[in-house]
Amino acid sequence: MNKIKNIGVLTSGGDSPGMNAAIRAVVRAGIYHEVEVTGFIRGYEGLINNDFVNMDRKSVANIIQRGGTILKTARSEAFNTVEGRKKAYDNLKANHVDALVVIGGDGTFRGASVFSKEYDFPIIGLPGTIDNDLEGTDFTIGYDSALNTVVDAVDKIRDTAESHDRLFVVEVMGRDSGLIALRSGIGVGAEAIMIPEANMDVDDILHKLDHSRQDKSSKIIVIAEGDEAGGAFAVAEVLQKKYPQYDTKVSVLGHIQRGGKPTCMDRVLASRFGVAAVEGLLNGERGAMVGQINREIVFTPFDHATKHIDAEKVSSTWLKLIDILSF
């Protein structure tokens, strides 16, 4: 007989659009399977401070379309300590919570892994990060929404760049991963992209621009924030000197990429993952992240659900697309 009667849910680390859709799915799946759901506030801090709300059907009404997370999110120093995790466990026991669903990135899963081993506690993770750089899933919750935010913004930048013969260097998020820059770069028709995985320097960009169409009145370079070339401003300075005929500008998109309505893709992904997490726990899954690979739901042990550079995801074929399309 299944002993899980109450599942705790929390969002942790950086937020991403679609986290609310994931919370809603966990709550509704819990209700469907006659399990109570307890929402902990501000990630692992909520476990330690015993800060929680009982989630009913209505508590997740009208949130599927909202960005951010109704449960709030945080990074927790205390959860890194043995004492902090002991408090968390005592609170979970006192509230009769038998299992957890944690929504976040690889740090959240590292914490979940340590805790689940320490207390033999059932936990399932949901990948909630805009970077899409986790092993064990083709897509993470928030990636598609962030891409669409970038594409919307750069389309607007392109309008003004065209009117003024401008060259724009647009910096997008992705400290360790260029996946946002790569896909959005293709989506906006960028002349070149710079991503950490490709080890490019400014000379590579100059070479690409020299070989792209010269009759264009605007040029867009999309650069990932983690790129080693010194950031958007340093790249822009070099480009301005080399191409004085263009007025070179920088636009750092920043935190708008984390906010806004989740796209339908992210809502569906989050909904599928939330239901799979609850049903997985009830079927004895634990210590793993839910993901989707080739459209199938898969569970990847926390220790393997880490950040990584996927040669498949950032292959030379993808990079060549930009060259072919901007030629």
Catalytic residues: 131
In the complex, minimum distance from the CB of residue 110 to ligand ATP, in angstroms, rounded to a whole number: 4
State yes or no: 218 annotated in a binding site. yes
Q: Contact, 164 vs 139, CB < 8 A?
A: no
Q: Using CB under 6 A, which residues numbered 23 to 52 contact ligand ATP?
A: 44
Binding mask 127-146 for ligand ATP (x = CB under 6 A): --x-----------------
**Which residue is nearest to ligand ATP, using beta carbons?**
107
> Any contact of residue 187 with ligand ATP (CB under 6 A)?
no
Helix (H, G, I), strand (E, B) or coil at 65: coil
3-state DSSP percent of the chain in helix, strand and coil, to 5 = 45, 20, 35
Q: Binding to ligand ATP by residue 121, rule CB under 6 A?
A: no
The structure tokens 């609850």 sit at: 278
Burial of 50 (0-12, 13-18, 19+ CB in 10 A): middle
CA distances from 211 to 204, 248, 312, 327 (A): 11, 18, 26, 7
Binding mask 63-102 for ligand ATP (x = CB under 6 A): ------------xx--xx----------------------
Q: Reduce the DSSP state of residue 279 to 3 states and report it.
A: helix
Q: Is 111 in the site for ligand ATP (CB under 6 A)?
A: yes
* Residue 211 assigned as binding residue: no
CB of 192 to ligand ATP, least distance (A): 27
Give whichever of 287 and 322 is closer to ligand ATP, judged by the CB atom. 287
Closest CA to 184 of 172, 168, 197: 172
In the complex, the residues that contact ligand ATP under the rule CB under 6 A are: 12-14, 44, 75-76, 79-80, 104-108, 110-111, 114, 129
